[in-house]
Amino acid sequence: MKIAFVHPKLAFLPELAAYQSFFLSKNIQVSICNYGEEAVSGADVFWYFMGTYPRSPAGRKMIIHEYTSASVPPYRKLKDFLKSKLNPRPDFRLFLNEYVRHEIHNRDETPFGYRDMGITDDFFPIPVSEKDFDFIYTGPLLPGRDTDKLLRIFQDGAMKNRSILLLGKNGPGLASACSQFPNIIFKGPVPRKEVPGFLSKARFALNYISDREPFNAQTSSKFLEYAAMHIPIISTSYYWISQFQERFGGEYFLLKEDLSNLSWGRITSFDYTFPNLDSWHWERQLRASGVLEYLQAAFPKVSF
């Protein structure tokens, strides 16, 4: 069996590396290709990270659709509705969680499962390192995520004398707009394997998520990585974080909406604790999704 993972290469997908590692360990061939390239991959399974695409290539292949998130503004409801109506029906669907499935509006009899985010073993060791940065934020700094409000705190607010490393893709002009503030450092995107090293150099980690849909109902992979490395977490307060804390524990410094409680004295005196992340390894998430059983039934000679 050979699997082709197909995506438009617009989003950062940490699950791809996890999938590759898992399936290659089972002697299953894997390729990664853009939309339109899958027909020449020679794969038996086309595994699409959705978007939209017109129709499956000629020839009978197993088709998996994976929805890692709901659509983001603007017109997010319309975009999700169109995804449900325009995309051809697959053999199996994977959703990040129940919220994403509900937003996509699929109402047919196609088998489905849930595959939440996970953590690789690289993030579980706790490296001992000198702290070069007071704060770190990993992930996109793109329009619509309200990160400009956070950065103002480091420009002329309570944290103007504290350093922050912003690790990830940033919006157009953001770095140049902050160039006069030497305490705001932009770097990245960087290779995935380098992220734990940067995290280990920060005193505190920021999980800054806008409290609006779909962001507030979806898993924060950066939060999981911070927690795995036992870096004290400062987070906005929103639906997903409260549900996670209720189920898995941990104590995190939760920010007020206006960030008025973000002060050095408050965050350094807070008693941080960390959650139980045993169930958040990538392989456990994949095994819990049901997709492996579906593949096993279709390809009985393959063993997972």
pLDDT score, position 53: 65
Q: What is the dihedral of CA 124, 125, 131, 133, to 10 degrees?
A: -20
Task: Please determine, for residue 213, whether its predicted confidence score (pLDDT) is greater than 80.
Answer: yes
Which domain, by its residues, includes 261? 121-277
Task: Please determine, for residue 112, whether its predicted confidence score (pLDDT) is greater than 80.
Answer: yes
Inter-CA distances, 16 with 3, 56, 67, 68, 72, Å: 12, 21, 13, 11, 21
> Average of pLDDT values for 93-103?
95
Give 256 or 73, the one with higher predicted confidence: 256
If asked whether residues 127 and 100 sit together in one domain, one would say no
pLDDT score, position 106: 78
Kindly give, in sequence order, each residue whose CB lies less than 8 Å from that of residue 247, ignoring residues fewer than 6 positions away: none
Cα–Cα distance between 209 and 189 in angstroms, integer? Answer: 19
If asked whether residues 252 and 146 sit together in one domain, one would say yes
User: Is the C-alpha dihedral spanning 199, 185, 220, 33 positive or negative?
Assistant: negative
Decide if 261 is inside a domain.
Answer: yes
Decide if 303 is inside a domain.
Answer: no
Question: Taking a C-beta distance cutoff of 8 angstroms, is the pair 163, 133 a contact?
Answer: yes
Helices of type H across the chain: 14-25, 76-86, 98-104, 147-156, 174-177, 195-199, 221-228, 239-248, 264-269, 282-288, 291-298
Cα–Cα distance between 281 and 252 in angstroms, integer? Answer: 21
Task: Please determine, for residue 269, whether its predicted confidence score (pLDDT) is greater than 90.
Answer: yes
pLDDT band at 55, cuts 50/70/90?
low
pLDDT score, position 54: 59
Phi, psi of 62 (to 5 degrees): -75, 135
The region of weakest confidence among 101-105, 222-226, 296-300 is 101-105
What is the domain count for the chain? 2
pLDDT score, position 83: 83
pLDDT score, position 58: 53
If asked whether residues 136 and 228 sit together in one domain, one would say yes
Task: Please determine, for residue 171, whether its predicted confidence score (pLDDT) is greater than 80.
Answer: no
Give 190 or 233, the one with higher predicted confidence: 233
If asked whether residues 89 and 11 sit together in one domain, one would say yes
Decide if 76 is inside a domain.
Answer: yes
If asked whether residues 210 and 289 sit together in one domain, one would say no
Residue among 77, 32, 39 nearest 55 (CA): 39
pLDDT score, position 165: 96
Both tokens assigned to 21: 């590692």
pLDDT score, position 29: 96
If asked whether residues 254 and 186 sit together in one domain, one would say yes
pLDDT score, position 287: 96
If asked whether residues 193 and 139 sit together in one domain, one would say yes
Decide if 165 is inside a domain.
Answer: yes
If asked whether residues 72 and 204 sit together in one domain, one would say no
Decide if 169 is inside a domain.
Answer: yes
What's 228's domain CATH number? 3.40.50.2000
Decide if 162 is inside a domain.
Answer: yes
> Average of pLDDT values for 224-233?
96
pLDDT score, position 73: 83
pLDDT band at 10, cuts 50/70/90?
low
pLDDT score, position 210: 87
If asked whether residues 57 and 192 sit together in one domain, one would say no
Residue corresponding to tokens 């009985």 = 300
Phi, psi of 87 (to 5 degrees): -75, 140
Task: Please determine, for residue 97, whether its predicted confidence score (pLDDT) is greater than 90.
Answer: yes
Task: Please determine, for residue 12, whether its predicted confidence score (pLDDT) is greater than 80.
Answer: no
| Tens digits of residue pLDDT in 115-166 | 999 998 888 877 777 899 999 999 887 766 678 889 999 999 999 999 999 9
Kind and range of the H or E run holding 95: strand 92-95
Cα–Cα distance between 300 and 184 in angstroms, integer? Answer: 54
Decide if 61 is inside a domain.
Answer: yes
On average, the pLDDT of the chain sits at: 90
If asked whether residues 127 and 263 sit together in one domain, one would say yes
If asked whether residues 182 and 155 sit together in one domain, one would say yes
Decide if 64 is inside a domain.
Answer: yes
If asked whether residues 72 and 90 sit together in one domain, one would say yes
Task: Please determine, for residue 280, whether its predicted confidence score (pLDDT) is greater than 90.
Answer: yes
> Average of pLDDT values for 33-48?
90
Q: What percent of the chain has pLDDT over 70?
A: 94
